[in-house]
Structure 1
Amino acid sequence: MKPAVHTTFAERIGRTLGRVWRGFVRLDRKAHGRLVALGWAPGMAGAALLVLKLVLLGVLVYTAFWLALLLAFVAFAAWTARNSEGDETEEWAIGEQAEHKHNPGYDPILYNDAPDPRFDKD
């Protein structure tokens, strides 16, 4: 026989969750007893505690919904930012301007006027 019994991680988690559950049940019984001691009918005290539990569950679900929606929005924004191209072609450059922009010595100050087709040098 082994001198020391080793518990697994799952057993420790199960025992911890069991202790937490028993603690909540103990608090619920204490609250029920205090409400009855204050003069509430036992049925009314149980109903009030049930309503309180349902309200807390609703608040938890509401908060979880908005946090999940925020997480989805952040994930979508990150995905969009990752898939966007950083060096998109500028659509305003037409004709000679587009050709000048691809030259290695391009200076935008020299080519900032768009050619006007009404004033051709023909």
Structure 2
Amino acid sequence: MKTNTRTSFAERFGSRLGRGWRSYARREGRVGGWLMARGVPAALAKALVWAFRLAVLAMVLYSGFWVATVCLGVVGAAWAARNLDLEEPETEWRMGHSGYGLYRGETRIDIGDSFEED
């Protein structure tokens, strides 16, 4: 059995998140109390705190949407670049639409004869 007392990264990360959340909750309570001390009705103070929460959530979701959109664009561009066929067809001498000559795909690339024999 291990007697290792080291805390893992997950434990430290969770602990920090918990401390951060508790700190935020305390400050949120202080803001509500401060608003009520200034004469704002309790219901309105609570509504303002919730409005701030919703505004922060909206900003996080908006930012997350754009981060996801950029990531999808990068993945899409990488996928398109991977599937892009940059190899040109090999040139070959053959009989094609413009007569016998050097063709790349369906296009004749040599100069060819500029006159026709009758």
Same fold (TM over 0.5): yes
Matched ranges for 1:1-122 at <5 A: 5-89=5-89, 95=98, 99=102, 111=111, 120-122=116-118
CA distance in 2, matches of 1:22, 1:30: 12
Change (3 A) 1:100 1:69: closer
- The structure that is strand-richer by fraction is 2
Change (3 A) 1:97 1:43: farther
RMSD: 3.0
CA distance in 1, matches of 2:113, 2:69: 50
Change (3 A) 1:97 1:26: farther
TM-score normalised by structure 2 residue count: 0.72
TM-score normalised by structure 1 residue count: 0.70
- The structure that is helix-richer by fraction is 1
Amino acid corresponding to residue 102 of structure 2 in structure 1: E
Q: CA deviation at 1:115?
A: 6.4
Q: Any unmatched runs of 5+ in structure 1?
A: 102-107
Identity, % of aligned positions: 33
Q: Any unmatched runs of 5+ in structure 2?
A: 91-95
Amino acid corresponding to residue 9 of structure 2 in structure 1: F
Q: CA deviation at 1:94?
A: 5.8
Change (3 A) 1:58 1:100: closer
**4+ runs of 1 displaced by more than 3 Å?**
93-98
- Count residues with an aligned counterpart: 107
CA distance in 2, matches of 1:98, 1:37: 93
